[in-house]
Amino acid sequence: MFNNKFDFKRDFSTKMVEMYGRSLEQSHITERYMVLGEMVREYASTHWKESKEKAVQVGAKQMFYFSMEFLMGRMLTSNLMNLGIYDYVKTGLNELGFDINELEDLESDAGLGNGGLGRLAACFMDSLASESLPGHGITLRYKYGFFKQKIVDGNQVELPDQWLALGNVWEVRKPKHAVDIPFWGHVDIIKDEVSGKLVYLHKDAEYVKAVPYDMPMVGRGTEITNTLRLWSAEASDNLPENKDFHQYLVDLDEITQNVYPDDSTEKGKYLRLKQQYFFVSAGLQAIIKAHLRSYDSLDNFAEKTAIQLNDTHPVLAIPELMRIMMDDYGYEWDTAWKIVIDTMGFTNHTVLSEALERWS
């Protein structure tokens, strides 16, 4: 970990060779940006690791903020400032002959939303970390942002927002935490001969693998670093038997292609619903697995977990948590419902009809 401009310059040169096999003099500006971002993320990773370990050690209650949007903006400058290393990184780059402003301008805004809903979610993430509170974000890893605006000859032109063109230097892929999400199929109901309870079996489902990508949320003036988890849709190892493989890939790719696909058609409505179920089910499964690594059961789940639903998009988390509690862990309805209502919170930001989703 570098703690002065001299160490930074040495590490910057070394990292350039490790990542690209090039000297600083031969490097391209995009390579310099990627190297700097990698170094800053690694710098933050020490506090990131310690924050996770401390939360488990003290048994802290953790909050998870489910939202279809997180407009984090450009994170290079804010992370450098929050970590307290901006000045000597800037000075070190300048002494190497590079302008930090050029690298800052190269960063794309993360295309994870399009409006106030996402900006509010981002502010909460920043505030939670800066107030040393264990709070994390859950959303989708969209391949494309809403759109990019440019002014050409005095006219607004809309272009695809390819925010991942250079990759996302802040994210860490976590394939070991991937989970399968089932769609379609049917449910068979059988009676358990021993307990006498009804058992619900999801048959002939079409599975999509949800793979998490974690981004550190660095607090200002604190050593707490929280997590923004982005879920990406990928092909499951459990491939559908009665579906064309190419069509399967096309369908799953749509789930995390972009935020708010057109829902004026029945197909679009199904896609919206798939997006919402995909990320809440994946998020809940991961949260429950993490809880069970520390505790023997889900009896104290509500005491150790708070889930906040940002607007109507993630409210499928409520019935999905009920389903998981009852079908996967054998809880009775009343017990499961008590845990669910003690865990879940909901924020509605407007009463405008377009913000109140209806499925009919």
CATH of domain 5-355: 3.40.50.2000
Pair type for strands 186-191 and 179-183: unpaired
pTM: 0.93
User: Would you call 45 helix, strand, or coil by DSSP?
Assistant: helix
Q: Kindly state the average pLDDT of the residues 212-241.
A: 95
- Indicate if the pLDDT at residue 71 is higher than 90: yes
| Beta-ladder partners of 157 | 150
The terminus-to-terminus CA distance of the chain in angstroms comes to: 55
Q: Is 122 left (phi over 0), alpha (psi -120 to 50) or beta?
A: alpha
User: Looking at residues 268-278, what average pLDDT do you find?
Assistant: 95
What integer is the mean pLDDT of 271-283?
97
The 10s digit of each residue's pLDDT in 167-195 is: 999 999 999 999 999 999 999 999 888 88
Residue ranges with strand state E in 263-357: 305-310, 344-347
pLDDT (mean) for 160-167: 86
pLDDT at 280 over 90: yes
The average pLDDT across 292-316 equals: 96
Q: Which SS3 state, helix, strand or coil, does residue 47 take?
A: helix
Res. 232: pLDDT tops 90: yes
Of the given ranges (126-140, 152-166, 177-191, 252-266), which has the lowest mean pLDDT? 152-166
What integer pLDDT is reported at residue 119 of this predicted model?
93
Beta bridge partners of 180: 209
**Average pLDDT over the chain, rounded to whole?**
93
**Higher pLDDT pick, 1 / 83:** 83
Q: Which tens digit of pLDDT belongs to each residue from 102-151?
A: 999 999 989 998 888 899 999 999 999 999 999 999 999 999 987 677 78
- Distance in angstroms (rounded) separating the CA atoms of residues 135 and 131: 10
pLDDT 10s digits, 195-206: 888 889 999 999
pLDDT at 1: 74
Domain ranges of the chain: 5-355
pLDDT confidence of residue 359:
62
Q: What is the pLDDT of residue 156?
A: 85
User: Which of the four pLDDT bands, split at 50, 70 and 90, describes residue 84?
Assistant: very high
Q: Is the pLDDT of residue 355 over 70?
A: no
% of the chain beyond a pLDDT of 70: 98
pLDDT value for 360: 59
Residue type, 113: G
Burial label, 39 (beta-carbon count in 10 A; 0-12, 13-18, 19+): buried
